[in-house]
Homo-oligomer: A and B are copies of this chain.
């Protein structure tokens, strides 16, 4: 019963097949291979837009490289206070960008709105050399709290970003889960809504380890290849990352598999609520954040359930985060619910 994260699970069987298929023969290295060549076209098709794509190995690399391409060292990036880039990447954005500043903001349900950013932005004076200069907004889709931005919410941020001369970055480590929830086109929550650069995640969704930075405007990617190389993120046998990304998109499997994870999360949330838990946030993707009595938490763990405390216990209850995956056995859900019900 492992609900720690979706990255605790292995890959889809198709990933292994794809890597095996890509293994034959000699291919040019560093991305000049046939698989990677196909990948750009495939992504363009899926996203209905011309784009540039750079496969990398981790989401942290995708985020930090993407943002350091968008933002100068004297830039400020507006993001939610609990966002992955702010609290789970050990300062990678600050490091790779040579000092850009993350301005962390509170936001309802793990989401930012233009209103959340407005007063923070007002504190910055453009062109005043003493202050980091507003340069980008970064949002996570689906959010770290399991909620999902609607296309309209993102479009509002996109418009706000354009109006205020900011770039819009999306951490899409769980974009598939968001799309499975929204049932809209990938374009609707990305470039069409004003997203300039996307950290596209496949690892959590079922790859061995493959992410990509996707630029919807080639001019933003001008120096990216050099940045990727000199940070050690240009893989020689890139075809194996590309093969995973290609497989991920095939037959909308990325979204279909994410849907299963989402469905399991719904079931889990429903069962836990019946067992007396209180949902902390709407369950819109594959993460369930619930307040459980500390005794329940202890019982679940004693029976082998693994999940994170999201906040320190308080008043006899703990905010727990449970994440489901395409690979989570449904029986684990059933068992956890049964245990929670005591």
Contact = CB atoms under 8 A, between A and B. Distances in A.
A113 interface: no
A87 interface: yes
A92 B229 CA distance: 7
A90 B132 contact: yes
Contacts of A72: 223, 226
A94 B92 contact: no
Interface stretch (A39-47, A95-103, A142-150, A249-257): A95-103
24 contacts: A4-B26, A4-B28, A5-B236, A11-B237, A23-B208, A56-B232, A58-B233, A62-B232, A73-B227, A73-B230, A74-B91, A87-B123, A89-B130, A90-B132, A90-B226, A92-B99, A92-B229, A92-B231, A96-B232, A99-B230, A129-B228, A204-B236, A208-B237, A209-B235
A191 interface: no
A22 interface: yes
A94 B90 contact: no
Interface residues of A, number: 76
Q: How many copies does the complex hold?
A: 4
Contact of A232 (B4, B9, B60, B226): B60
Interface of A: 2, 4-5, 7-11, 16, 19-20, 22-30, 56-65, 72-74, 87-92, 94-96, 98-102, 122-123, 129-133, 203-204, 208-209, 223, 225-237, 240-241, 312, 327
Contacts of A101: 91, 94, 102
Interface centre among A24, A100, A209, A230, by most chain B C-beta atoms within 10 angstroms, is A230
